[in-house]
Amino acid sequence: MSKETTILAVGAHPDDIEFGCGAILLKEAEAGSRIHFLVCSKGESGSNGTPEERVAESEAAAARCGASLSFLDCGGDGRIVASPRNAMEVARVIRATGASVLLAPSRVENQHPDHVAIGKVAMDAARLARYAGVSDLAELKPHAIESLYFYAITPGAEPAAQLPFVFDVSLQIEAWRELMSCHQSQMKTRRYLDLQVSRARTLGLQAGCEYAQALWPNDPVLVNGLNSAPRGIRLF
């Protein structure tokens, strides 16, 4: 991704973005990318943390990443569906931010249903954002993103049949810990931070670095030739 990249990261709940792709976003922020967090609920149905606490935690995390932040009402935590209305609202944010890269939760079924719904919503929104004749979005100029990538919030959400892009985030690991630690309300019953860091450590060892995080592309990736293509992570 280039220094001029604008990244729109969409999550169903506060903390989804930080846990699922936070280290990558920190790396991109260091490279000069503009980043916007779009959170589609306030964690109203969660076991820990009030909506007010969850919003404050998201604000602290966005600030730590150097990102702007907005919330979108997509029906409430536990009630999010992949509806035309929700896709239209996310498309509006795509147009408003002029994002070139869109990140969203994977659509693997065996995870929180809100994650799956927002993954589908983001995919639909990317199409709606570029259609000039969509009357609901007439106040904003049509905009086409360049790439849509999915992140996996939990190990079970990793798309098994797809090959990911793997990012070396070894230099961002401590900042990523700080980023995830902004969501203290979620650390009360589960060791989420340890889970995410251990996943990154395992993937990093496979890739020949200390820590790594993955994104799964929605579409085939265009390269100019084999010399410009990234290397595989398998250490033959």
**SS3 of 2, please?**
coil
Q: What's the pLDDT score for residue 232?
A: 86
Q: What's the pLDDT score for residue 235?
A: 67
Task: List helix spans (H) across 138-191.
Answer: 173-181
For residue 37, give Cα distances in angstroms to 71, 131, 151, 172: 8, 23, 14, 18
Place of tokens 């860091």: 197
pTM of the model: 0.95
Q: What's the pLDDT score for residue 189?
A: 77
Q: Which of 95, 193, 206, 93 is nearest to 144 (CA)?
A: 95
Q: What's the pLDDT score for residue 236?
A: 63
Contacts of 205 (CB under 8 A, 6+ apart): none
- With vertex at residue 149, the alpha carbon angle to CA 222 and CA 13, rounded to the nearest 5 degrees, is 170
Q: How many CB atoms lie within 10 A of CB 2?
A: 8
Contacts of 18 (CB under 8 A, 6+ apart): 61, 65, 179, 180, 182, 183
Q: What's the pLDDT score for residue 190?
A: 80
HSE-CB for 54 with a 13 A CA cutoff: 23
Q: What's the pLDDT score for residue 231?
A: 83
From CA 117, how far away is CA 158, in angstroms rounded? 15
Low-confidence ranges of the chain (pLDDT < 50): 1-3
From CA 77, how far away is CA 167, in angstroms rounded? 30
Q: What's the pLDDT score for residue 1?
A: 45
Q: What's the pLDDT score for residue 17?
A: 98
